[in-house]
Structure 1
């Protein structure tokens, strides 16, 4: 039994978790993480149970889950069950990454002439089912013509981002860093210059990205969880802001 009650102010909890006070205020406002109690002066006070809940939230955010999904998950089962299930998913992810690394090592050795590879060995880490499912979703949602063009934007998902060239990835990081800075500074999505982003998309597609295709891409960003997850890791709420900015930008092209 604990000999004392651990209590933390919002600032203390934010510093311990490496998050902002503003984020904890937001979590409180949406009911995701409520303080143990609020003092008369308005100060929020958290205890061990809230600290553990915040840790669980951060585990799921790191996995790319949206806050709405996290809230629904936290309403199901006990913390021990949820964390055990999440651990199992992470272990599977480690196994998948181990396969990826092993294939990378073999490919590097192959390119230096030390390890010949069969054609099948090149693609062991990649799931044909996932890619086929993604393309099927695109075709059903937007039609075969649009799906063909937008499918090339799969580089914006986590898996695809890792496969683009170093120069392409560096440029995307620079573009997104600037956009995130605008977003976090409170810029309106109606007043953002997206010419660099649109140009980058066109280069990655290998064909022009006109206003119609660019506007339609914003719908894909909001409709498919892979895209949302990647943008939300850059900054919470950024996916919706970017999509709104893309729609406005495409209307003025």
Structure 2
């Protein structure tokens, strides 16, 4: 059975504009096009679209998805099994975050008392939802190098990295009311700089300053960082800028 693009859009919830875009970039080109130029999607096309949507839900970028689907070794059944495991893990993480949120509400009402550790259960900093943005800002090589470093660590290593990052953020957040240029703050900011570079990045002073500015220029970063304390993102931007100045002197 062949379906017109409008029918596919209504069936899947994917907009006609998005389907046209997938066709233009060669990600999903329908098997049949009428003489009048109308796209007609087959069952196999719908299977491919389903794969694309699963990958998108898991945070893959369109270019990455295209490379995966075009790989001659691509196995749909294997991919579905892996996607299932990844989505189950994502659901588990969201369940933990929801529980943390519910506990935080009780804590705010004075009904329970949470430890600092419990306040951050469920957050996972090993997965970066802004990877494409990072690629545009700093290039594919730096991001790929970082991703490879994470992959080489394995699950246990990634968990340790996430815990180290949380510990550094908690330590710095506790200093956010101090002078950002003080020796104590700058020593800790130096630890943050070294931590980032250990992840496969190579942050020059200027790139480090730029990352700090991103914390306050992009409300998504600001919102996530300020979960560690009001004004934390702005404090980090200032402290990172000071470190960059001193490294360039």
TM-score (norm 2): 0.55
Higher relative contact order (CA 8 A, sep 6+): 1
Which structure 1 residue ranges, 5 or more long, are not aligned? 1-5, 169-201, 214-253
Q: Decide whether aligned partners of structure 1 residues 87 and 49 sit closer, same or farther in structure 2, where only a CA change above 3 A counts.
A: same
Which structure 2 residue ranges, 5 or more long, are not aligned? 125-159, 166-191, 245-249
Question: Corresponding residue for 2:161?
Answer: 129
How far 1:206 moved relative to its partner? Answer: 5.3
Q: Decide whether aligned partners of structure 1 residues 49 and 204 sit closer, same or farther in structure 2, where only a CA change above 3 A counts.
A: farther
- Cα deviation, 1:207-240, whole Å, max 9, x if unaligned, reads 4999xx9xxxxxxxxxxxxxxxxxxxxxxxxxxx
How far 1:81 moved relative to its partner? Answer: 1.4
How far 1:39 moved relative to its partner? Answer: 1.9
Tell whether the 8 Å contact from 1:153 to 1:204 is kept in structure 2 after alignment. Answer: no
Question: Corresponding residue for 1:28?
Answer: 23
Question: Corresponding residue for 1:88?
Answer: 85
1:11 equivalenced with 2:6 (yes/no): yes
1:150 equivalenced with 2:182 (yes/no): no
Tell whether the 8 Å contact from 1:36 to 1:45 is kept in structure 2 after alignment. Answer: yes
Count how many residue pairs are aligned between Structure 1 and Structure 2.
171
TM-score (norm 1): 0.54
Partners of 1:42 and 1:158 lie apart in 2 by 41
Question: Corresponding residue for 2:61?
Answer: 66
**Structure 1 residues 123-202: aligned runs within 5 Å:** 123-126=120-123, 129-130=161-162, 131=165, 135-136=196-197, 140-144=201-205, 146-147=207-208, 150-151=211-212, 153-154=214-215, 156=218, 161-162=223-224, 164=226
